[in-house]
Amino acid sequence: MNVFIYSRKVESDQQEALGDLLYHLLRRGVKLFVQDRFLPYVSNRFEWRGQLVVLQDLSELSQMDFVLSVGGDGTILEVARLLSGTKVPVLGLNSGRLGFLSQLSFIEFEKVIEDIVNRNFEIEHRSKIHVSILEQEAQFPNALNEVALLGHPHNTMIAVHAFVNDIFLATYWADGLMLATPTGSTAYSMSCGGPIVSPDTGSFIITPIAPHNLNVRPLIIPQSSRVTFIPESREGQFMMAIDGQSHFLDHEVKITLTKSDVDLRLVRLQNEHFFKSIRTKLNWGFDKRN
């Protein structure tokens, strides 16, 4: 089994636990691949660090059985961009804070090493959003969480004309407007009052950001829909954030959003489920009477 370890940063108090996990994987015959910048995080394990293979060419990621993402959900978003167009699944090891996509803690990971080595897991498909702007030659990345249009500069209010399958929906006067995936329903969309949506529902969410209209609410639509946003701003510009990555554009462009042909594949272990995640991480239904 070939496993690529990806991380932006591992805190010093977590490096020993990470070293232990990698050691156990190596003992079970797993071949581990890393980037150069990962090696300092396991520098205290010189006796086996030489067994880590440094992957110089990330195009070789397609040869991995899966990627172990060490960090938070932001790290998985980076991995999703790296794996775009491949069928390599991702398993998230949460060394951050909340983490909906990063399922496991270091302690939990120790308990499931045998399941991983024996491939005792399922693959969960998470849809992405494809972004197209006719007036722009630039290629935009697919969005795993959301595509958000925001006023720029200084977070000014913008008007966004929204269409679904070329049928006019509404003009939103707001700080911004986003289209979110079910995966993104527990991210920015949730903080803006959007609903939490199960990943397998095949839907998108149109969520206004601090709307100045009292008569607009988040709206769930099928993923087969073609969504068009046309932003207007007195400043003449707006910001498009794709999974938090900012792109600054002139207003009045026509942005077309559709379901991407590629998705992200997540490793889902036994006894792990979306409903368990929202119950344990959002205290869903928490009541002292329970």
Phi-psi region of 202 (alpha: psi -120 to 50; beta: other; left: phi over 0): left
Check if 36 is active-site. no
Cβ atoms within 10 Å of 165's Cβ, excluding its own: 12
Of 13, 65, 73, 200, the active-site residue reads 73
SS3 111: helix
Q: Which amino acid is at 284?
A: W
Report how far residue 248's alpha carbon sits from residue 16's, in angstroms, rounded to the nearest whole number.
41
| Tokens, residue 191 | 């903080």
The Cα-based distances of 81 to 122, 186, 232 in angstroms read: 21, 19, 29
CB 168 within 8 A of CB 288: no
State yes or no: cis peptide before 153, omega within 30 of 0.
yes
Report how far residue 109's alpha carbon sits from residue 212's, in angstroms, rounded to the nearest whole number.
46
The Cα-based distances of 225 to 129, 246, 259 in angstroms read: 11, 24, 8
E-only strand ranges, the chain: 2-7, 31-34, 53-54, 66-71, 90-94, 121-126, 129-133, 146-152, 158-164, 167-180, 203-211, 219-222, 227-232, 237-242, 245-250, 255-259, 264-269
Positions annotated as catalytic residues are: 73
